[in-house]
Structures are given as C-alpha cells and as structure tokens.
C-alpha cells in the first residue's frame, strides 16, 4: 500500500488526509500554517464537519496519521503526494492558482526519486499541464515525477461519507503507472462499489466545474420558477415535485429557496465563465451569468419580502435570523446567502439578532457588528419578524406556539421552503414562503 502525503490542511486537505488514514494508509500531512498543524496534531479539527473530529483522533491514536511543517520530510515519506490547497475567486472571476503553484514549487526541490503528485484542487482546464511542467523542471527527479488530477466532490456536511464511500472517483492520468498507483490508493472504496473513471488530465479538470455549473443551473432554474409562481399565484413546491417525477430531471437540487452559496458553486461558475472566455467560447456558457444573477436575486427578494412584512421600512425593526451558515451541518459562512441578507437588513436600519447551531463563531469573525443569540428564543425575543434562512433540522423542530410567546409580531419568512407552514399558521403566525401562496 503506497504511503501518502497531503499538502494543505484546510477543509479539503484535512478531510482527505483523515479519511485516507481511516482507509488504512500511512498519511503525512503538511501545511505552511504552524497553528493549523499544531491544532490538527492535537486532535482538534479547525472547522465543523459531522464525524470528522472523532476520525482525526482515532487515526492519530492508531499512528496512521501525522503532521509536519517540513516539505523535505514529506518528499522522503511519500510515494503519492496530494495537492489539496484552495483556489479562491480572483480577479475577473478567475480562480486564484497561487496556492497550487506555491505548493508544487515548495515540494518539487525535494523530489529526488520517482513519485506521483496528484492534484485535487478545483482548477481551470490546462492547469495540470502547467503544474507538471513546473514540477519536472524544478525536481531533481525530473521526468520521473508523474502527475495526475483527481478532482474532489465533497459536500459540506457529508464530507466523511463522500470521502470513504464516494459516488465516483475520477482519475486524470498520463501514464499507466499513475493509474495503477491511484487504483491502489482507492482500492478499498472501489472494492466496496465506488465507480472509478479514468480519463485524460483536461477532462478530469473539467468534470468538477462542469458538475457545479450544472447543479447551479438546476438550483437557479427552480428559483426562477419560484418567481413565476409568486407572480401567478402558483405553488413552486408542487411544481418541483411534479418536475422531479420526470426521471430525466429528478428531484435532487430542485429545491426552491434562498439559493446556493459557499466556497464552491459561486466561484466555480464564475471561474468557468472566465476560462471559457480565455478559450474563446464564452458565448457558449453566457447563460451562467443569468444563473448567477438569479441566485443573487433571491437574496434581494427575501429583503424585499422582509421590508413589505415590516410595513415598508426595516429601520428600527427587530429581525430574528435563524441560520447563518451557507448550508446546514457546516460552520462555513463563505458567500453565505443568509449573511448577505443580514448585511442588507442591517444596512436598512434593522436590529438583527442571529442564531445558528454551529456557525455563529465563524460568522462573528466576518460580521462582528451583528447580534448573536445562544438560543432561538433569545434571538426571537421581541422580534417584529423572523427569517428562516438556513435549513437546519433544529428549526423544523421549533414549536411555533412557544416561539409566539416571545416575539412582538407573529410573522415568519421561510426562505428555505421546508417549515410546516400549516403548523405555524395554526399557531396564528403569518407565513411567507418563497414561491408559494401567502398563508396567515
């Protein structure tokens, strides 16, 4: 079984390192951030992901997982080196590849023998060839250094499951040896039934961004239909259920609401558009601009509804916000639709009080001016309006009658379309659900 290293211990890298160790590999992970390394080595995950921290401690205790700050140690230790660094949105929507090239440049001078470097980061098509050329130029081993691209498909909140039992494993390779090494790395999930797809580097690079572009389009499509439903008096949930019965369409990702956010979909579709422009085929993906606009427009629609519910002005109104993470089971607030709504509410003079089961500490770093409440009831105390913005299961368990006792006005906007509107109406709440007829 090959010994594995992971370069980068952010969300992707730490999850990958832990799960590879849990699959039985000896894993050495590295980062340039000494604080991150010390925290991980002590058994503490620096972010919230269900089930991840117990696996971290389990594999540290088993001796299968170690952490270092030394690239020389990494090069000596590993047969397969995974690059798992971030590619945030840069200028003009293009992916910022500085961390990818820096990681490869830091590793290359220490590669003195045959090895395989594997990129997992989401990158524009053509990046892998550039990284390979740089590695072979700088590494003492020269052409004995091989490269593959193995895009990640982690869903925040399900990352452990997606790593240990992925729904597909994509390998972009240039040699039979690279394929053989990666088949060995992923032997356990493949034998358990995970499909393994082998292709060229360029196709592997495109798979992730193409998948995210498709998912973003599906989400924005149903949100566009929600706008049509609001104007016509139709019910978007019934519409989505009917569309989802078509096997060619399917119900997954056809859920109307506040739209997508996070560190992947928004920046990946913008990066894809920039790549298409560089390739001279931008007109073929121009519709992604509309997808982006529809998604951002849902945030404005919620603020508009809030303003209407508040009688035309939000100034001085107390607004309770339920959920600030961009999705449930995560503490990630990157491009959070909820946080964007909070910004707009506060800009119009609303007094915003936020509750989230796990994401308040990360949100407070980004938006220290907001009020954060340790419970739903404290967030909603004397509220003129309640906004449900992240679909945590905790919020579906709220007793509307009990919450009614602490608010100033029984008005709720369900921007995630998943609360039991009938139960809230029975407790004498006025309920607004995006894309559905008003109930009160």
> Per CATH, which fold does 208-292 belong to?
1.10.1040
| CATH superfamily label, 295-433 | NAD(P)-binding Rossmann-like Domain (3.40.50.720)
Give the catalytic positions in this structure.
264
Give yes or no on whether 208-292 and 295-433 have one common fold. no
Length of the chain: 440
pLDDT for position 439: 56
Please count the CA atoms within 13 angstroms of the CA of 416 that sit on its side-chain side: 24
Of the candidates 259, 283, 262, the residue with the CA atom closest to the CA atom of residue 273: 283
Structural domain boundaries in the chain = 4-199, 208-292, 295-433
**262's torsion region: left (phi>0), alpha (psi -120 to 50) or beta?**
left
Pairing of strands 430-433, 411-414: parallel
> Domain 4-199 is of which CATH architecture?
3-Layer(aba) Sandwich (3.40)
Token pair in block for residue 74: 């990494």
Against a cut of 0.85, is the pTM above it?
A: yes
Strands (E), 3-137: 4-7, 27-30, 65-68, 80-83, 115-119
Joined together, the tokens standing for residue 179 give: 């394929």
Residue-level pLDDT, tens digit, the chain, 440 residues:
889 999 999 999 999 999 999 999 999 999 999 999 999 999 999 999 999 999 999 999 999 999 999 999 999 999 999 999 999 999 889 999 999 999 999 999 999 999 999 999 999 999 999 999 999 999 999 999 999 999 999 999 999 999 999 999 999 999 999 999 999 999 999 999 999 999 999 999 999 999 999 999 999 999 999 999 999 999 999 999 999 999 999 999 999 999 999 999 999 999 999 999 999 999 999 999 999 999 999 999 999 999 999 999 999 999 999 999 999 999 999 999 999 999 999 999 999 999 999 999 999 999 999 999 999 999 999 999 999 999 999 999 999 999 999 999 999 999 999 999 999 999 999 999 999 876 54
Strands (E) in 250-403, as ranges, are 318-322, 351-355, 371-372, 385-388
- 257's tokens: 């609401």
Q: Which residues on neighbouring strands pair with residue 432, listed in sequence order?
A: 413
**pLDDT at res. 80:** 98
Looking up tokens 């019934």 gives 238
Type and span of the H or E element at 217: helix 201-232
Both tokens assigned to 38? 């010390």
Instruction: Tell me what pLDDT residue 437 has.
Output: 79
- pLDDT for residue 387: 98
| Residues in Cβ contact with 389 at an 8 Å cutoff, skipping those fewer than 6 apart | 258, 302, 321, 322, 323, 324, 337, 338, 341, 415, 416
Name, in order, each residue with C-beta under 8 angstroms of 279's C-beta and a sequence gap of 6 or more. Answer: 125
CB neighbour burial string for 139-157, b if at least 16 within 10 angstroms, e if fewer: bebeeebbbbbbbbbbebb
CA–CA distance, 379 with 399 (Å, rounded to integer)? 15
Please state the separation of Cα 398 from the chain's center in Å. 26
Q: What is the largest CA-CA distance in the chain?
A: 73
> Cα–chain-centroid distance for residue 164?
18
């Amino acid at each position: 079984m090959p010994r594995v290293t992971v370069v980068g211990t952010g969300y992707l890298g730490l999850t990958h390192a832990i799960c590879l160790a849990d699959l039985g590999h000896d894993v050495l992970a590295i980062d340039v951030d000494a604080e991150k390394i010390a925290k991980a080595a002590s058994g503490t995950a620096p972010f919230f992901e269900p089930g991840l921290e117990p696996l971290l401690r389990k594999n540290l205790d088993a001796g299968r997982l170690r952490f270092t700050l030394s690239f020389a140690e990494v090069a000596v230790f590993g047969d397969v080196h995974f690059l798992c660094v971030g590619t945030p949105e840069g200028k003009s929507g293009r992916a910022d590849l500085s961390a990818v090239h820096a990681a490869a440049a830091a590793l290359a001078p220490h590669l003195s023998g045959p090895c395989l470097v594997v990129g997992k980061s989401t990158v524009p098509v053509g990046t892998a060839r550039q990284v390979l050329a740089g590695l072979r130029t700088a590494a003492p081993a020269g052409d004995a250094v091989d490269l593959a691209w193995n895009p990640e498909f982690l869903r925040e909140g399900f990352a452990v499951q997606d790593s240990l039992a992925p729904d597909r494993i994509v390998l972009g390779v240039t040699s039979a040896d690279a394929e053989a090494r990666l088949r060995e790395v992923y032997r356990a999930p493949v034998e358990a039934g995970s499909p393994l797809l082998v292709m060229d580097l360029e196709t592997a690079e495109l798979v992730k961004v193409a998948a995210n572009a498709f998912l973003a389009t599906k989400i924005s499509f149903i949100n566009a239909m929600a706008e049509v439903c609001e104007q016509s008096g139709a019910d978007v949930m019934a519409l989505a259920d009917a569309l989802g019965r078509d096997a060619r369409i399917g119900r997954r990702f056809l859920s109307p609401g506040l739209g997508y956010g996070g560190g992947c979909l928004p920046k990946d579709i913008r990066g894809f558009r920039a790549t298409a422009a560089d390739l001279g085929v931008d007109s073929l993906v121009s519709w992604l601009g509309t997808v982006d606009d529809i998604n951002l427009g849902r945030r404005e629609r919620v603020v508009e509804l809030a303003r209407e519910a508040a009688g035309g002005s939000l100034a001085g109104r107390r607004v309770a916000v339920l959920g600030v993470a961009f999705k449930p089971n995560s503490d990630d607030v990157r491009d959070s639709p909820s946080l964007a709504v909070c910004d707009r509410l506060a800009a119009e003079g609303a007094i915003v009080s936020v509750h989230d089961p796990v994401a308040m500490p990360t949100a407070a770093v980004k938006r220290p001016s907001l009020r954060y409440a340790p419970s739903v009831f404290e967030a909603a105390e004397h509220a003129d309006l309640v906004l449900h913005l992240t679909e945590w299961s905790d919020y579906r368990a709220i007793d509307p009658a009990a919450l009614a006792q602490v608010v100033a006005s029984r008005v709720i906007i369900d921007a995630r379309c998943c609360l039991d509107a009938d139960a809230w109406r029975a407790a004498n709440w006025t309920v607004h659900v995006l894309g559905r007829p008003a109930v009160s």
